[in-house]
Chain A
Amino acid sequence: MIKRFFIVLLSLSLFGCNSAYINNLVATPEIKNIQLSHFSVQERKAVFTVSLYNPNPFPLPISAIAGDIALNNLTIGSLEAKSDQNLAAFDTQDVTLPLSLNPDALINAAQSVLLQGKASYTFNGDVQTSLGRVPFTKQGELSAKEVMGSILPSFR
Chain B
Amino acid sequence: MPALFKQRLVTLPTLWGWLLIVLVLALSLSYTFKHLGHFLAKNQPTHGQYLIVEGWVNEKALSQAKTLFEHGQYELLITSGGPDTTQIKPDYPSYADKAAAFLISQGFDTNKLSAAPAPASAQNRTYLSAVKVRQWFESQDMKPISFDILSSGVHARRTHKLYQMAFSDTTEIGIIALEPDHHSLENWWHSSDGIKSVLAETVGLAYSYCCFEPGEMGSHQELWGIY
Taking beta carbons and an 8 Å cutoff, which residues of A are in contact with B? 7, 10-11, 14-15, 18-19, 21-23, 25-26, 56-61, 130-131
Contact = CB atoms under 8 A, between A and B. Distances in A.
B101 A25 contact: yes
Contact of B114 (A10, A18, A61): A18
Contact of B110 (A7, A14, A22): A22
23 contacts: A7-B141, A11-B140, A11-B141, A18-B140, A22-B100, A22-B110, A22-B114, A22-B115, A23-B110, A25-B97, A25-B100, A25-B101, A25-B115, A26-B104, A57-B98, A57-B101, A58-B59, A58-B105, A60-B105, A61-B106, A61-B107, A130-B106, A131-B105
Nearest to B99: A25
Contacts of B165: none
A19 B112 CA distance: 9
Question: Interface majority SS on B: helix, strand, loop or mixed?
Answer: helix
Interface of B: 59, 91-92, 97-98, 100-102, 104-107, 110-111, 113-115, 139-141
Contact of A19 (B59, B101, B106, B111): B111
A10 B142 CA distance: 13
Contacts of B107: 61, 130
Given A22-B115, A25-B100, A57-B91, 7 more contacts: A10-B141, A11-B141, A18-B114, A26-B104, A26-B105, A57-B92, A57-B101
